[in-house]
Chain A
Amino acid sequence: MTPPGALNDLIEALRILPGVGPKSAQRMAYQLLQHERGGAVRLARSLERALQAVVRCQRCNGFSETPICSLCSSPQRNPAQLCIVETPADQVMIEQSLAYRGLYFVLLGRLSPLDGIGPSEIGLEALLKRVSDGVVSEVVLANNFTHEGEATAHFLSETLGARGLRITRLARGVPVGGELEFVDPGTIAQAFYDRRDLPPA
């Protein structure tokens, strides 16, 4: 039996979510219409509201309800430091660490040479405009430690370093509180290659 048109549209629409195939989409649609009609109304309204209210911040490219987000306009943050991340989720993780008091720039992903994704697809022009405000002096590259993330970081360090900025990259190695016994060999290998001298006592 083919479901009625509106139901079918809903199932198709749900399939845009990551990891949702036809079967899960159908289950979700039935759940919403059968047991969760109130929740479904809330979902529909908040989705509509978010689409209208949430824009990209003009300075950091992250999500915001104002043209410039609260973090970018906060006087508590150090405007001389700019941390570059691949996604808004990465930014949230760094914020949770409470280790960084500077500002952010969210790239639109990363370079992926084998997939043909180059500088023009990751929002490079907006970044170049952002770092030439005369205030930013250090750029912290927090790209992921995948080969694509590394290629992106290398590219950014060449491009931004040529503009006289200090370029730093997050360190990599064994996780804090990590027992070597349970760390994957790739991470341990890299921690060995990147080992550093301890200052003399």
Chain B
Amino acid sequence: MAGALRESQRVDHEPAYVLHSWPYSETSLIIDVYTARHGRLPLLARGARRPRAALRGVLEAFQPLSIGWSGRGEVRTLQKAEWVGGLPRPAGRALWCGFYINELMMRLAVRDDPHESLFGSYAEAISQLAHGTDPEPTLRLFEKRLLAALGYGLVLDAEGGSRRPLEEGSLYTYDPERGPIRAEAGQAAEYLVSGATLRAIEAEQFGDRQVLAQAKALMRQVIAYRLDGRPLRVNQVWREVLDVV
């Protein structure tokens, strides 16, 4: 990878989403983008913060773009960004869910490591948030597909280790490294997930309320494990917000 980075690169018409951006020098931006064929990478957008810059209003998160860049090294230079459009801006709670998804991408997707299926899952999740559908099933589906794309896929077809088939009515704990483990009688309830829920997650069926609730607890635990216990900033701020509201 380091060798590939040293070579000068020129990419054009690449489907992309801006995940986050930071001011850089007086008039520029550093943007963190997720692209279809090149994965996640930082780009320097020169002059993007000038009052009349053409890129203003284009380099927005949650909007499908077509971009081009060139250069070598870690931070390459954005040459072009075109509006692909078709999405309203997510509003209210959906906007917060969008921030959550973007932070997951920034924290878990390694730079310059493309996964085209993940790009598709991301685009689908953002589109659903933008159109105002119930965010919970959207988030669970995205989390499941994100983990799978990054090689952390959940074991959902059998017990971890023993590979015994899951029983719909039985309860399981989930070991992030091994998979579902049949729960002992009297184990703490908040960590338990039913065989039926595990199967529903595998089938990507999030219509049932109990499935949604158990899947949320499961994903939270697995994602916390993948983040090495360092909490997501969006979740911390969201909890602070809930305390006030």
Contact = CB atoms under 8 A, between A and B. Distances in A.
Residue of B93, B106, B240 most packed against chain A (CB within 10 A): B240
A83 to B, nearest CB: 21
Residue of B57, B103, B236 most packed against chain A (CB within 10 A): B57
Interface string B47-59: 0000000101110
Contacts of B95: 147, 150-151, 154
Nearest to A146: B60
Nearest to B22: A115
B237 interface: yes
A18 B28 CA distance: 12
16 contacts: A18-B26, A19-B25, A113-B100, A115-B233, A116-B237, A119-B237, A119-B240, A120-B240, A147-B98, A150-B89, A184-B54, A184-B56, A185-B58, A189-B83, A189-B85, A193-B88
Interface of A: 18-19, 21, 111, 113-120, 124, 147, 150-151, 154-155, 158-159, 162, 184-187, 189-190, 193
B244 interface: yes
A118 B237 contact: yes
Nearest to B234: A113
Given A119-B244, A124-B244, A162-B245, A186 B60 contact: yes
A185 B234 contact: no
Contact of A114 (B56, B60, B92, B99): B99
Interface residues of B, number: 36
Main SS of the interface on chain A? Answer: helix
A111 B245 contact: no
A114 B244 contact: no
B238 interface: yes
A153 B27 CA distance: 25
A2 to B, nearest CB: 26
Given A150-B89, A184-B54, A186-B58, A114 B241 contact: no
Contact of B57 (A150, A155, A184): A184
A158 B238 CA distance: 13
B173 interface: no
A147 B62 contact: yes
Interface in B192-243: 233-234, 236-238, 240-241
